[in-house]
Amino acid sequence: MSERLSSDNQQLLIINCAKSWQEVERERVYICPADQATSNHKPSRYFGLYRSSKVSHVANIEAVVKVLPGEKTEFEWIAGGGREQDYQQKALASALSLRPNSEVPVKVFILGVLQETDFKKDTRGGMQGSKQYFDVSKLNVDTAGFLAMKLRGKTWTDF
């Protein structure tokens, strides 16, 4: 049985998608290496697509699945209401079609519908590191659609 994310979790995980944003928008998945050194992610309810100094879209994270050699899968966490088997199939199909020559395990974030927003990084320079976390519990939202509305016009220093 996999870890179900508590509804109390109101973390927004922002990922720098400067090189992969079109794939994320088209496929509604984000794929990264699954080795612990580079991709240790805290369980989070929401995904933020960052590029050009802002989060342009947010989505609910439905599930995060590791795809291992031999077409095996392991769940990191599940936040959506779908069936585990469906998430496993989506993760495996995405990894095989989008990263066909990958010899390392990959982590597949299965995303809900991407919701357009405008959450700006208002400090100098690019994003520090490949990921950033924000606690959005004070916004009192329960879906990415509501989160997108509440983030429009806000800046990172507002948090």
Mean pLDDT score, 2-11: 83
Q: What gap in Å lies between CA 8 and CA 22, rounded to an integer?
A: 31
Give dist(CA 15, CA 90) in Å, integer: 20
The pLDDT assigned to 44 comes to: 95
CATH architecture of 11-158: Roll (2.30)
Q: What is the pLDDT of residue 39?
A: 66
SS (H, E, C) 51-66: ECCEEEEEEEEEEEEE
pLDDT reported for residue 1: 46
Q: pTM of the predicted model, to two decimals? A: 0.92
Task: Express each pLDDT in 40-96 by its tens digit.
Answer: 888 999 999 999 999 999 999 999 999 998 889 999 999 998 999 999 999 999 999
